[in-house]
Structure 1
Amino acid sequence: MSMAASRVLVTGASGFLGGYVVRDLRAHGHEVFAAGRNAKALGAVADSEHRVIGDLASFADLRLDVDAVIHCAALSTPWGRWRAFQEANIEGTGHVVEFARRNGVRRIVHVSSPSIYSAARDRLKISEEDVDSKNRLNGYIRSKIAAEELLQRARREGAVDELIIIRPRGLIGVGDPSLMPRLLDVHRRVGVPLFDGGENVIDVTAVENVATALRLALTAGDAAGGVYNITNDDPRPFRELLGTLLPLLGETPRLRPMNRRAAWVLAAALEGACKALPGQPEPPFTRYTLSTIAYSQTLDVTRAKAELGYRPEVALDDALRRVAEHLRVAA
């Protein structure tokens, strides 16, 4: 059953993706309630009557009449303690399910992650079914798989009426706190590792296009737990992406050819060493990071196009140019 949502709660609205989602929904006539922990960031996207300040555990007492929840909130990092991922991504999703059940919310649109496809091999045109549910590459992946399973179980048991799951790949955009800053930091410190001559093909996605997909998922798609890959549908060789982006930033590309197998062994050793250290500091690079930049990985978005009506509205080159212009001004 399709649902014309007009009142929507967005979790993680003080984050990178969440902020774009709130603005996109409002621009398309929805009444949006923005939930998050950062009051200042929420103030930039919602007025006081439409702000819900607090973590997901606080949803236990939240009463709000909305048609749908877009669940963007998550702990997204390649390294961290399992308990932190469990609390944020699994238990946090459980709080959203309970909120939806108690408040009679019809549809949950959940932001998952294509990190669950990660592997030490090339993978092209990955479909939504191509998931190893036992993937244990890192805690983030484990927690996102578990969150999807929790939601699908809740739908089967009737705690959630309608469910859509979105897996957006490699978000880029103005305000990105993760992908681009990490890449530039590595580039400036030691140079970007290059594997297989940089011919490995990868997908990235303009954050505006992900916001569009999430809005479409409010009223389209298979409400019985449909899962959808989202990308810009414009895969590029890693070297070509760097060759486009770095000159826009005024940077001379510093590329360091590396052997994939040797790098994987080193990353595993670094992870083991860091786990044994007090505080478990993040390694210089991880096996998960290598899986995203050392191997080809592209997603099939055929289903999203057919069932959600998804089309990338912001071209990849335009997205890269916007990010570069913003970073140059900020610097």
Structure 2
Amino acid sequence: MKILLTGATGGLGFRTLERLIENPKVEKIIATGRVIRPTHFVENSKVNYQLGNLEDADFVSQLVEQADYIVHAAALSSPWGKYAEFEKANVFTMKNLINAAKKHHIKRFVYVSTPSLYFNGQDRFDVKESDPLPTAFVNAYSKTKYEAEVALEKSGIPYVTLRPRALIGRGDTIIMPRLIRAFEEGKLKIIGDGKNIVDLTSLANVADSIELSLFVGDTGLYQIYNITNGEPVKLWETIEKVLSMLGHEMNKKKVPYSVVKFISQIMELKAKLTNYKEPALTTYGAGILAKSFTMDISKAKTFLGYSPKVSTDEAIDEFVSWYLVES
């Protein structure tokens, strides 16, 4: 088995590399990304890094020609930005990969999507893959990730789409680091009542779900799967725990969600009317921190054989140990 892994230089990418090189059925992994970071580099005879831009159709074709399976984990991920930028990074790259996959007869395509397309600004519990999506997506990221999902579904290529929620653990450069920076800048305050419950997902568990997707039988193909740790936690208690482990004491002042949402809307409007620079606070960001959000993973358990092996506490411990060394 020869695998093309996009986004291989990111947090999930390098954890997936670590997982796949241990599988004796995997002969070679073409690992692609923009820039290699020493903290996210895997040195192994099975791994061949080839850096470049997935918006370049010729480069993509050259990559795909060397593989028989694709794992697409690369994306432009941000709560803010112009649609055209996300369309190029998330939709055009998917179309390049699909075209190359058809040309070079790829056997299977595993796509790492996002559950942010479920977001509707309300508390949501046990969301299933079959539940109706919002009539309008919250941002360009969610919209383009969904468009990429649809393009893959229509391609005819055997596929598995994964929607992992809030990735944490060793190698996380997004979720916890952003919260830590907000704390250090004095901008982190509890939004709402602080009792909201959310799903988090260990990077190791997502890597496991990717490996399962590569080997699942025919009954597991042409499906979308929610992926989480399967143990919802109180978000602000978890944030406080991480900060405490790093020697910080969190400010427990609470700000009403309605106030924060209104301010974020004003900030977004100002940004759109000026230079479109990402505001300090977005409506999506406020909602994620204030609202409960959990997902049903029974489908992944039944058809993928997915079972979370790394607990949230274990993922937090490994993140803190890694962060203290690398930051």
TM-score of the superposed pair, with normalisation by structure 1? 0.91
1:69 aligns with 2:67: no
Please report how far the alpha carbon of residue 60 of structure 1 lies from its aligned counterpart in structure 2 after TM superposition.
3.5
Task: Give per-residue Cα distances to partners, 1:68-123, cap 9 Å, x unaligned.
Answer: 10100100111122111000100011111112111111110000000101121100
For the 8 Å contact 1:249–1:325, the answer to whether it is kept is no
The aligned residue for residue 245 of structure 1 is 242
1:54 aligns with 2:49: no
Which residues in structure 2 correspond to 1:47-126 (within 5 Å)?
A: 50-56=48-54, 57=56, 58-62=59-63, 64-126=65-127
For structure 2, the residue ranges without an aligned partner over 5 or more in a row are none
Which residues in structure 2 correspond to 1:206-221 (within 5 Å)?
A: 206-220=202-216
- Closer, same or farther: CA 103–247 of 1 in aligned 2, 3 Å: same
For the 8 Å contact 1:22–1:45, the answer to whether it is kept is no
1:285 aligns with 2:260: no
- Separation in 1, partners of 2:136, 2:195: 26
Q: What amino acid is aligned across from residue 253 of structure 1 in structure 2? A: M
Task: Give per-residue Cα distances to partners, 1:192-221, cap 9 Å, x unaligned.
Answer: 332342111011111011000000001116
- Separation in 2, partners of 1:210, 1:106: 21
Which residues in structure 2 correspond to 1:1-331 (within 5 Å)?
A: 6-29=1-24, 30-31=26-27, 32-39=29-36, 44-45=42-43, 50-56=48-54, 57=56, 58-62=59-63, 64-132=65-133, 134-155=135-156, 160=157, 162-220=158-216, 222=219, 224-278=221-275, 280-331=276-327
Q: What amino acid is aligned across from residue 213 of structure 2 in structure 1? A: A
- Closer, same or farther: CA 231–43 of 1 in aligned 2, 3 Å: closer
- Separation in 2, partners of 1:306, 1:49: 31
- Separation in 2, partners of 1:148, 1:304: 17
- Separation in 2, partners of 1:151, 1:63: 15
- Closer, same or farther: CA 39–244 of 1 in aligned 2, 3 Å: closer
Identity %: 30
- Separation in 1, partners of 2:63, 2:184: 45
- Separation in 1, partners of 2:17, 2:254: 41
- Separation in 2, partners of 1:226, 1:211: 17
Secondary structure at 1:177's aligned position in 2?
coil
Choose 91-100 or 124-133, whichever is displaced more: 124-133
For the 8 Å contact 2:16–2:210, the answer to whether it is kept is yes
Moved over 4 A (4+): 39-43, 45-49, 221-224
Q: What amino acid is aligned across from residue 171 of structure 1 in structure 2? A: L
- Separation in 1, partners of 2:22, 2:221: 28
- Separation in 2, partners of 1:108, 1:77: 24
What is the aligned residue count?
320
Please report how far the alpha carbon of residue 133 of structure 1 lies from its aligned counterpart in structure 2 after TM superposition.
5.7
Task: Give per-residue Cα distances to partners, 1:268-313, cap 9 Å, x unaligned.
Answer: 11011112222x2111111111221110000111011111111111
Please report how far the alpha carbon of residue 323 of structure 1 lies from its aligned counterpart in structure 2 after TM superposition.
1.2
- Closer, same or farther: CA 201–35 of 1 in aligned 2, 3 Å: same
- Closer, same or farther: CA 237–48 of 1 in aligned 2, 3 Å: closer
For the 8 Å contact 1:191–1:255, the answer to whether it is kept is no
TM-score of the superposed pair, with normalisation by structure 2? 0.92
